[in-house]
Amino acid sequence: MGGGPDLPTRAASKEKELVLCVLVWPEEQVEGPIKALKEAFKDVEVEYYHSKFENGKAEPVDVPEDTLRRATYLATHFWLPPSASAIPSTKLIQFFSAGTNHVSQHPIYTDSKIPLCSANGVHGPQIAEWVVMMDLVHSHSYTKLYDNQKKRVWDQKAGMNVSDRVGKRVGVLGYGSIGRQVAHVAKAMGMDVIAYTASPRKTPESKRDTGYIVPGTGDPDGSIPGAWYSGTNKEDVHEFLKQKIDLLVVSVPLTKETTHLLSTEEFSLLHKSNPRGTYVANIARGQIIDQKALITALEQAHISGAALDVTDPEPLPKDDPLWDAPNVLITPHCSGATDVYADRAFQVLLENIKREKSGGKLINEVNRKRGY
């Protein structure tokens, strides 16, 4: 019959796959990475929602049901839909955070098989700089010097108590991407590095970093540590802590097993093995350290000091005794911030979409049983 050409049916026209982004930056701040994503995949479109987040609290985000149903890939920091049934087309959830412990009780985590990937690796350079900065501030007595500057006091003696880093030992508790970049920088400063991981790393292949690596950083082949310790029980951790550590970097993921991993007994071991004092830097999660035991260890000088970017709880209440503990430096969970964070995280997302499409092994896929 007449009437012109047939209109294309929905089945005949291939609908673009949807990348749903629910992230903490205003969209105009990530126009570059979004453009790169669209250029890399001509068959995808992007819908963006700003998830406002401040001091540990996120504002609710209203994403239309139709958008959720269409989403093939979800990029998010914290936000998730109520259940997997709300996102029936989703093949991958890419978190822009290093860990996923904040969603470990969510039904999508516990009851679905949607692959979850972290942004582990994007934080290495800036957090390693934070760790080294804090260690140097401590070892060069800089807080005293700065206090004197504000009081306009010239006291040369206050700056004479210096312990340079050459020959000192860094113990990296959790040798992931952040720990590897700490090792990279520490080695350049002439420090000795020892590493600890839950699983044994006895072969060259097992020591490799298979996650995302910022080019030119880290320890891709795992060759930096002079010694490597491993295990999951207390005795294994204690053997590591007995190694006369000058700087202990806490960079393990938070799991049931690592909660209060460092407490009174562990601080006592550090003190016995290194009476001059271990400096503890925690950039992981506050709950990994028993905070009351930490305060006691600081007060009794069982450790030389602590640099904490994470606390338990967060935000740390104004009346918490940790604020007044001796030789402690506290920052508000900001060591991972950098002006190129979004660019790096979108690179992980782009690579994982590429691998999902080709059937390859995803980067940083979370093992739900292990918790990371």
Single-letter amino acid code for the residue at 94: Q
Q: Do domains 17-122+338-358 and 124-330 have the same CATH topology?
A: yes
pLDDT number for residue 54: 76
Is 45 a known active-site residue?
Answer: no
Looking at 47, 314, 356, 365, which residue is catalytic?
A: 314
**Strand (E) or helix (H) holding 168:** none
* Domain topology for 124-330: Rossmann fold (3.40.50)
Listed by start position, the domains of the chain span 17-122+338-358, 124-330
Is 184 a known active-site residue?
Answer: no
pLDDT in tens, 228-276: 999 999 999 999 999 999 999 999 999 999 999 999 999 999 999 999 9
Looking at 302, 333, 344, 351, which residue is catalytic?
A: 333
Is 15 a known active-site residue?
Answer: no
pLDDT number for residue 14: 67
Looking at 123, 201, 271, 285, which residue is catalytic?
A: 285
* Domain topology for 17-122+338-358: Rossmann fold (3.40.50)
Concatenate the DSSP letters of all residues of 61-87 into one string: ----HHHHHHEEEEEESS---SSGGG-
The ranges of the chain with pLDDT < 70 are 1-14, 56
Contact 278/248 with Cβ under 8 angstroms?
yes
pLDDT in tens, 83-110: 999 999 999 999 999 889 889 999 999 9
Query: In angstroms, rounded to a whole number, what is the distance separating the alpha carbons of residues 358 and 354?
Result: 6
